Amino acid sequence: MALSTSPLLPASERPPSLVAIRRAAGYNGELLELLYETLREFRLPVVGKSVLLKPNLVQSDSQCVINTHPAVIAAAREAFLKLGAGRVTIGEGPGHERDTAAILEEIRLRDWVGGLRGLFVDLNVEEVREVALRTRASKLRRLFLPAAVLEADFVVSMPKMKTHHWVGATLSLKNLFGIVPGSCYGWPKNVLHWAGIENSILDLATTVRPDFAIVDGIVAMEGNGPIQGTAKAAGVLVMGDDPVAVDATAARVMGLAPERIGYLKKAGYVLGNLREEKIRQIGEKPEKVRQRFAVLDRFQGLVDFPAASKNAPEQS
């Protein structure tokens, strides 16, 4: 069951988190090995379990700048099976496109993972159960959520690394909007906007905390994301079992200060580790792969990129 039961601890009482940054130049066949070896280091309890991969599939996008690349989804699926997972399915409830099948066709997911019947679950129209939200940051209080998510043993949030025109950056926590069923709440899931996007993210994440996060930052998005931005070759995957620590690390890779991203800052109080000293990095260090992501004017205050860096800041 994916409903979170982990304690909501203040940062001072939480043990350090482990986050891996791996370089990946492209979406090629080496991804499986890279993911498998990295996942092994986390000793994940997935043997015999049902694993639900939750990528970020927003709308048709043949270049896969908006959506999590199918190569990453396929490699993650293979890696979890190789680790002994009993069943690995892929589930998403796109927020801007009612025709989920059209997105799957356009990104050619079938070419990467084989037949989709029985493998892919459209979370927008799955059967639902009403859930009391664990925190009251927003005024939502309760939501209907897909049984496919609630009944999965292990949920993996697999966002695309993107800037976001409402909240600064969209990563593994914001990706949870895709589990909210459109058939109940619409396309877009406007009820979350009216309840406050940042607080809705927090309430969702405390209630259905992803067990693992894999951020596709191989080709990311900067500028007017999450849909109308431009491609940014960041060349990394960021992974870990603390979604807050993963998102904080990904934000640092994007040249953004995670403690200035509203929902991440709040998530750092109760859900996971935000501060660098509480995150043990494996693989690359954030500063070694950091790039300056262009952001909209209203988010210039999030930028945390040393001007004297060898990786010269780009004009936003």
Interface residue list for other proteins (CB under 8 A): 59-60, 96-103, 105-106, 110, 115-117, 120, 122, 125-128, 130, 144, 165, 181, 183-188, 190-191, 193-194, 224, 227-228, 296
**Nearest residue (CB) to other proteins, 99 versus 151:** 99
CB of 13 or CB of 297, closer to other proteins? 297
User: CB 115: neighbour CB atoms within 10 A?
Assistant: 8
CB of 112 or CB of 187, closer to other proteins = 187
| CA dihedral (295, 297, 301, 307) positive or negative | positive
What's the min distance (Å) between Cβ of 211 and other proteins? 26
Q: List 51's β-bridge partners, or say none.
A: 88, 154
Q: How far is the CB of 97 from other proteins (least distance, A)?
A: 6
Strands 87-92 and 120-122, bridge-based pairing: parallel
Name the region of 64 (left: φ>0; alpha: ψ -120 to 50; beta: rest): left
With CA atoms as reference, report the closest residue to 23 among 277, 211, 278, 253: 253
Residue placing its CB nearer to other proteins in the complex, 56 or 59: 59
- For residues 6 and 228, which CB has a smaller minimum distance to other proteins in the complex? 228
Q: How far is the CB of 283 from other proteins (least distance, A)?
A: 35
The two beta strands, 230-232 and 212-222, are antiparallel
CB of 248 to other proteins, least distance (A): 26
Beta-carbon contacts of 106 under 8 Å, excluding residues fewer than 6 positions away, are: 60, 61, 62
- Least distance in Å: CB of 57 to other proteins? 12
Tokens encoding 32: 């499986």
